[in-house]
A and B are shown apart, each in its own frame.
Chain A
Amino acid sequence: MNILIVEDEDKVANAVRRGLEPEGYSVAVARTGEEGFFLVSNQNYDLLILDVMLPGRDGVEILTAVRKRDLTVPVLFLTSKDAVEDRVRGLDAGADDYLVKPFAFSELLARVRALTRRSHRTESVSSLKLADLEMDVTGHFVRRQDRELVLTAREFDLLEYLLRHQGRIVSREMLARDVWKENERHTPLDNVIDVHIARLRRKVDEPFQLKLLHTIRGVGFVLRADPS
């Protein structure tokens, strides 16, 4: 998978590249809009990560030019919170998704995964599994070591989401948006998420030796069998 990042901020560009490379992506970085446009027109990329604020031609202009050339490469663009207009302009210009700066890396990773997967759709899995934890999504049933776990509807949704992203860090933003369907993260919601995670941990992990649900301090949560 080839990804091109068009971003003038070196620190951000390098951090994103360093984060994406271990996930199996090969990443190229362009510092200006012109360079990015040149690269994307001459080479095949599976995803374009485009910053809106660029010196010279801005991200939306690049995107418009790219779409004019009938290039169908998926585009994820990065914008800042205070520019609602940019978001609308970007989506109008043909972007597939956007991310507001500052973003959590896990969030970026999730979007990148979703966008690069879009071409070869994932089949909807009805049964999820991690170590001795099993979930039957259609039957609304969770079991660990042959013992049934009784979960509330919200806990079930939360566990399903974590299972679908198993091994990967899930941020509070992702939970707020995808599990709670809230359009904005706020302090009360953070507390609610924390309580739900604590309750889920009590049911899923407490009675068992092997802990699956881990808190990554300052980042989010991860469901995995490997303790590190």
Chain B
Amino acid sequence: MISLHPKQVRTRLTFWYVLVLAGVLCIFVAGASIVLVWQMRSQIDRQVVQDLETVEGLFYFSGDGILHFNDDYHNHPESKAVQERLLEVLSPDGEILFKNDLLGSRTIGGAPFQGEGVAGYSQRSERMADGTRVILASRVHTMQDRPVLLRVAFSEEPIWTRLKQMLVIFFFAMPLALAAAAYGGYKMAGRVLDPISVMTERARQITSERLAERLPVENGDDELGRLAEVFNGMLARIEISFDQLRRFTSDASHELRTPLAAIRSVGEVGLQKKATEEEYRDMIGSMLEEVNRLTSLVESLLTLSRADAGQLKLQVSVFPVMELMRDAVNLLEVLIEEKKLTFTLTGDDALLVRGDRLFLRQAVINVIHNAVKFTPAGGAIAISVSRDGDSKAVLSVTDSGPGIPAEHSTMVFDRFYRADPARSGENKGSGLGLSIARWAVQANGGGIGFSNPPGGGCTFWIRLPLALEAPAH
């Protein structure tokens, strides 16, 4: 039993294909039948009239008033027109004067109706008493001053016989044609859908462990080729984010494990031997320090993951960049003073930027804090704000620290990157500051980067979109 909704596209395609073809064939057969019937009928019509014309001249009355038919006239008595003709002659009052042999005891049209055959041919289709449908033509003919009504008829039988023959041929030929079409269609659909099966099979094998696999592209120009290319593009993106996620997860678990290990060992060692209250306080304090580290790490991770998920909503406003810089510098001033750094902040107070002020403030704070951290005591930090082209403001923070080694340049903004891994313990940084800064700047339509100027040190820059109109109040 063929279901109307087979599972395979291939079967479904073939099914519909055959169904449509069958429909088309049926319409064709119906049309052909109509044309056939119409054509044969008009042929018989002509034949009837023509024959009536011929027959008219062949009747004569003999002296005793009996109507005779001159049969010898025909050169070809075997012609169908002669053999199948039904012929009848009536007097105006309906008396039958002549019938041919084929007609026998039947009559063609019964009593003549009023005006039959008077003005031209009276042509019609009629059913005889025995059920035979005929096409007949009648005409009044004046023969030796006596009017007679001549009727010639031909059976419609040949039309229906021919039609039946045609239908029988179709009846047997159509399943054959449909079977051929189904076979061809199935093969064709199979050929077209083959790449999909291959893609399906290949896609099934692609798992998170084997994201490097790609779907085969047979022809990049057709629809399936494009589909495969789109899939491959998607796979490439997934692979990249999977890699990032994997690295991030392993880094994060490492970062979390470090304080956990510290808490555990401090606790275990503390319980091993009796200690003074002072020592116990110290141990608990040390454990709490690690807990704080864990807490702030988890919070930073949460912020970043919310940022990644697009859950952090930006509160965009327009404000002067210098205000933002002064605000950040104001907070960090004590750290700069403490290290006795030479510090300058220069820039154009008129420059307005558009963005989320809180996030951008955090980004600027993290970048400046980074510079302060890596500049040795007595060094210098210079911050400048300037216009970059028509649409950007560029903030640069230059320090006189050791600079960033070229081989680290791609990792600086990565999560958990630290310039000096050995220092991570005492230096409390989470390794997330610059990565958070990068997120904040990029989310606000800006860019962030750094360069090592020739004179030594390091310059971090942040590019932000300028707001061209005045801030709305």
Contact = CB atoms under 8 A, between A and B. Distances in A.
B430 A187 contact: yes
B369 A188 contact: yes
Interface in B180-237: none
Interface residues of A, number: 22
A192 B281 contact: no
Interface in A167-193: 172, 180, 183-192
Contacts, number: 67
B416 to A, nearest CB: 13
A218 B362 contact: no
Given A188-B332, A195-B334, A218 B288 contact: yes
A192 B332 contact: yes
Q: Which of A102, A185, A188, A189 has the largest number of chain B CB atoms within 10 A? A: A188
Contacts of B291: 102, 218
A190 B286 contact: no
Contacts of B332: 188, 192
Contacts of B335: 188, 191-192, 195
A196 interface: yes
B369 A187 contact: yes
A119 to B, nearest CB: 32
Contacts of A102: 291, 295
A82 interface: yes
Nearest to B370: A188
B118 interface: no
Given A192-B335, A195-B338, A187 B285 contact: no
B71 interface: no
B289 interface: yes
Nearest to B303: A184
Contacts of B285: 216-219
Nearest to A216: B285
Contacts of A82: 302, 306
Nearest to A185: B296
A81 B302 contact: yes
Contacts of B296: 185-187, 190
A192 B288 CA distance: 20
Contacts of B338: 195
A189 B302 contact: no
A191 B366 CA distance: 12
Q: Which of A81, A172, A186 has the most CB of B within 10 A?
A: A186
A217 B334 contact: no
A173 to B, nearest CB: 9
A199 interface: yes
Nearest to A190: B428
A219 B358 CA distance: 27
Contacts of B430: 187
B282 A217 contact: yes
Contact of A192 (B290, B292, B334, B433): B334
Nearest to B331: A192
28 contacts: A82-B306, A102-B291, A180-B331, A185-B296, A185-B299, A186-B362, A187-B296, A187-B428, A187-B430, A187-B433, A188-B335, A188-B365, A190-B296, A191-B335, A195-B334, A195-B335, A195-B338, A196-B334, A199-B334, A217-B281, A217-B286, A218-B284, A218-B286, A218-B287, A218-B288, A218-B290, A219-B285, A219-B288
Interface of B: 281-282, 284-292, 295-296, 298-300, 302, 306, 331-332, 334-335, 338, 358, 362, 365-366, 368-369, 428-430, 433
Given A102-B295, A217-B286, A218-B286, 13 more contacts: A185-B299, A186-B296, A187-B433, A188-B335, A188-B366, A188-B368, A188-B369, A191-B335, A191-B369, A217-B282, A217-B288, A219-B285, A219-B288
